[in-house]
Amino acid sequence: MERIDVQLGQRSYPIFIGSGLLSCGDSLINTSLPRRVLLISNDVVAPLYLDAATALLQRCGCQVDHCVLPDGEQHKTLDTLNLIYTKALQLSLGRDCAFVALGGGVIGDMVGYAAASYQRGVAFIQIPTTLLAQVDSSVGGKTAVNHPLGKNMIGAFHQPSLVLMDIDTLNTLPAREFSAGMAEVIKYGILWDADFFCWLERHRGALLAHDGDAISCAIQRCCQIKAEVVAEDETERGVRALLNLGHTFGHAIEAEQGYGSWLHGEAVATGMVLAAKLAQQLQWLDGAQVARIESLLACFGLPLNPPPEMGLTQFLPHMQRDKKAQNGQIRLILPTAIGHSKVVSDVSTDQLAQLFV
């Protein structure tokens, strides 16, 4: 078991990463929980892990109630969020309760936002069960739901009390979901850590074979980077924006295609390729670096090209509504080399158009 701490003063919290933590992790979380707990999952994860998570929380002395939501990005809405509020109110839960998110990024984001807004804020714990959630969305306190006009446009920053990652839950993860999670893993290498990118290239075979040691090492490095960045810039006023590499393009694909048609990681993978090609156009990356990025993404079966029916006309309205936009200007995260990136706000429409020629 590995522990990584997100350093945020009095709101600091630990991330625990290991095998079998749903069975034996009560000693790690029993000081973090109030007596009343609402355990929230979805109808795919709940049959697999709800009983184990419930038993874990009960061993910590908690009274546990359940809320099971429909699965899928298309359900990451205000209507679904209201099911959590309704359940909490029916149970007469007060400010001294905690919400526990058991599932992937959709569940984690929704439960976090519900916790941020229920009675103006209650505690919550993340138990992520997908690779994407373990390496990215469960850490850092970004919570949200989608709107038909934009992804994650309604939300709040609300840090968890603790993140418990049982890597054994990845054994039941569908292959497509695992590949989507690898897009976020690769993202950290492109934008922050060239050595990690090289490590991923060398260990791609082990990762494809779902080798537990390789996966654990990858998760740990991603969480170390995320914890470091969040500690420096919790509310994304500066360096944390870099973690959105590929997301401005990717969110446009998700919104335009309909949430759930493309998985988030798939859209981010294509977004990172578009960002790399734009960086090449600006003479920051050479062709060999772009090829390495494409090769590593492709070996996990991730898409490299946007939907054929999506050109600049379809991308632009979504990109202009992106959360990073300022004063009407699109702001993009572009790699300046493998392992380095920066925020760019002076890319012209003509330069963007060249990506879709």
Count of CB atoms situated within 10 Å of the CB of 203: 17
Going from the C-alpha of 343 to that of each of 183, 284, 326, the distances in angstroms are 20, 13, 12
Helix (H, G, I), strand (E, B) or coil at 220: helix
255 φ, ψ (degrees, to nearest 5): -70, -40
Which listed residue (76, 221, 240, 323) is catalytic?
240
Q: Which of 295, 258, 294 is nearest to 276 (CA)?
A: 294
Residue 147 bears catalytic tag: no
Separation between Cα atoms, residue 230 and residue 157, nearest integer Å: 11
Q: Measured between alpha carbons, how far is 194 from 157 in angstroms, rounded to an integer?
A: 29
Q: Which one from 151, 264, 277, 323 is the annotated catalytic residue?
A: 264
Point out the catalytic residue in the list 73, 177, 234, 236.
236
- Is 254 catalytic? The answer is no
75 catalytic per annotation = no
Catalytic residue among 226, 318, 323, 331: 226
β-pair type (340-344, 142-147): unpaired
3-state class (DSSP) for residue 40: strand
Q: Is 251 a catalytic residue?
A: yes
Relative orientation angle of helices 287-298 and 175-191, to the nearest 10 degrees: 150
The Cα 130–Cα 180 span in angstroms is: 10
Residue 153 near residue 247 (C-beta atoms within 8 A): no
Among 158, 187, 221, 247, the active-site one is 247
Residue 240 falls in the annotated catalytic set:
yes
138-147 burial, b for 16+ CB within 10 Å, e for fewer? bbbbbbbbbe
Write down the catalytic residue from 187, 244, 266, 294: 244
Does residue 158 have an active-site annotation? Answer: no
Q: Which of 251, 277, 323, 331 is catalytic?
A: 251
CA dist list (Å): 83 to 73, 89, 118, 147, 357: 16, 10, 12, 17, 45
- For the question of residue 201 being annotated catalytic, the response is no
Query: C-alpha angle with apex 277: 195 to 205, nearest 5 degrees?
Result: 40
Q: Among 184, 234, 266, 294, which one carries the catalytic annotation? A: 184
Can you tell me whether residue 86 is helix, strand or coil?
Answer: helix
- Which residue, 183, 77, 84, is CA-closest to 133? 183
Tell me the DSSP string of 104-160: SHHHHHHHHHHHHHGGG--EEEEEE-SHHIIIIITSS-EEEEEETTEEEEEEEE---
Is 204 annotated in the active site? no
Q: Catalytic residue numbers?
A: 120, 142, 184, 226, 236, 240, 244, 247, 251, 264
